[in-house]
Amino acid sequence: MSKTLRIGTGSAWWGDRVEPAGLNAERGELDYLCFETMAEATVSAAQVRARRDPDFPGYDTHLDARMRAVLPACMRKGTRIISNQGWINPRGAAERVVQLLQEAGIRGVKVAAVEGSLITERVLALTDTILENGQSTATLALDLISAEVYLGAEPIVEALRAGARIVLTGRVADPSIFMAPMMYEFGWDPLDHVRVGAGNGIGHLLECGAQITGGYFADPGFKDVPNPWDLAFPIAEVEANGDVVITKVAGSGGAVTVQTVKEQMLYEVHDPANYITPDVVVDFTQAQVEQIGPDRVRVRGLTGKPRTPTLKVSMGCTEGFIGEDMFFYAGPGALRRAQLAKRILEERFKLVKLDAQDLRIDFLGLNAIHGDATPHDAPEPYELAVRVAARTRTREEAAKVGREVDAMAVSGVGHTGKRVPHQDRTREVIGVWSSLVPREHVPTTVVYFES
């Protein structure tokens, strides 16, 4: 295929804005619109909700809003959609998209669901070592609630070859969602690590959405971005050899520059020479980045190395509860009063025998981010918030945090207000651990539907 392939971003995580996706669908002149909606804890949180709420469908809670925003334009313009909004129920997500198509009067559209990423029942038999601490994965048996393998692009390509215009998946590695159209349209061999490496490198540039159009770049007076309230999502113009131009819809907010592209290229990349994905090991070290016009940046020289024999699996485990609350001080002496309040709470938690594995009392506006690294001579703030948080084994212990903070209103150091007391101040903690599984032990299935 000799034509330039236009691939646009539709989202960069579950809570992303919907409007830029609609803009890309309507004005991006796209061949493909790709949605990335997962963070590491997304699927585990979905499993927790499914355990509590039998009516939870298991797919992205914003699926309806996103699809309604883009389906009419995409189907009218011939733009295919790829999305990992299936979470723990890709089949349910695909069926829901079919319903939305039918509601819009759009018939004859083939929708695919890619299944196989969820291996909760088998994971302990397929893995041995927790990557983070070197312990046996068997130690997670009692607390395990979910396990999801990071799949690659190949099952998506299979769905595209079968004529699917919309593909819904569960856990697929972020770059792979965007690379699958390149592999399909250009006929790339899955083992061609040079081209697939370039494709996954491009996928990495697109996966975080507005980060590459100025979202993380802005630093007023130092790194200014036009109209940051109207950031567009990026569009990639991809050539068959893996060269790409990153751009955005003309007239939209934000900016695409050599600097924004370089920042995203290195974002969450531990080793730029060895960025591991399910499809390939990407090598960014030979990349050439060039501004070729307003909001147009060409990237060449992305390449890769052969893929690994294993796939990463994320295992979600219950790890107790967090109790959290917050109250505020303002005016002269705010810090002194906050410090006394901290001492009072520490002593009262001893009196009520709070059984906590971790307790933090931070001063937002002074040391909550940098902790012990905060300079000792930091200027005293005029106002600050006292955040109190404890990690416990039970919800009952976590609830002690809110009760003691409530008591500070009349039995502590006078303050200027607190969080609304009726908010839920306890929440379950889901820890995420990693391991590796042989890729040959993770089969995938593609299921098809039609509107």
**Do both 177 and 81 map to the same domain?**
yes
Residue 276 tokens read as 């591991």
Task: Give how many domains the chain has, as a whole number.
Answer: 2
Residue 17: inside a domain? yes
With CA atoms as reference, report the closest residue to 375 among 364, 386, 366: 366
Residue type, 316: G
Position 41 scores a pLDDT of 73
Q: Between β-strands 32-35 and 80-83, what pairing exists: parallel, antiparallel or unpaired?
A: parallel
Statement: residue 14 has pLDDT above 70: yes
Within a domain: 68: yes
What's the rounded Cα separation, in Å, for the pair 293 and 204?
22
- Name the band, by pLDDT with cuts 50, 70 and 90, for residue 421: low
The closest alpha carbon to 59, from 83, 92, 34, belongs to: 92
Same domain, 404 and 289: no
User: Rounded to whole angstroms, how far apart are CA atoms 257 and 64?
Assistant: 33
Give the pTM.
0.93
- Rounded to whole angstroms, the Cα distance separating 147 from 122 reads 9
Tell me, yes or no, whether 163 and 269 share the same domain: yes
- Residues 52 and 170 reside in one and the same domain: yes
Asked if the structure places residue 299 within a domain, the reply is yes
Are 150 and 314 contacting, i.e. CB atoms less than 8 angstroms apart? yes
- Where residue 414 falls among pLDDT bands split at 50, 70, 90? confident
Together in a domain, 329 and 429: yes
Q: Are residues 82 and 51 in the same domain?
A: yes
Q: Specify if 124 maps to a domain.
A: no
CATH number, domain of 423, equals: 3.30.70
Dihedral over alpha carbons 298, 281, 45, 160 (to 10 degrees): 70
- For residue 199, is pLDDT > 80? yes
Residue 81 lies in a domain: yes
Same domain for 23 and 74: yes
Structure tokens at 71: 């389906």
Residue 123 belongs to a domain: no
Q: Which domain holds residue 173?
A: 5-116+151-308
288 and 338 co-located in one domain:
no
Handedness of CA 130, 136, 140, 145 (dihedral sign): positive
Our CA angle for 372, 376, 379, nearest 5°, is 120
342 and 229 belong to one structural domain: no
pLDDT reported for residue 417: 81
Is residue 169 within 8 Å of 176, Cβ to Cβ? no
Structure confidence at residue 300 (pLDDT): 98
Strands (E) located in 50-198: 80-83, 110-115, 144-149, 166-169
Q: Do 334 and 413 have their domain in common?
A: yes
Position 419 scores a pLDDT of 76
- Residues 5 and 32: their CA atoms lie apart, in Å, by 8
Q: State yes or no: pLDDT of 44 exceeds 80.
A: no
Question: CB–CB of 230/171 below 8 Å?
Answer: no
Secondary structure element (H or E) that encloses residue 196, with its range: helix 193-207
Boundary residue ending a domain (308, 335, 360): 308
Whether the predicted pLDDT of 259 surpasses 90:
yes
**308, 336, 367 — which closes off a domain?**
308
Domain shared by 274 and 395, yes or no: no
Cα–Cα distance for residue pair 217/39, rounded to 1 Å: 21
Nearest to 282 by CA among 382, 202, 373, 178: 202
Domain membership of residue 428 (yes or no) is yes
Answer yes or no: is 365 within a domain.
Answer: yes
Q: Are residues 331 and 282 in the same domain?
A: no
The torsion defined by the Cα of 115, 117, 121 and 123, in degrees rounded to 10, comes to: 150
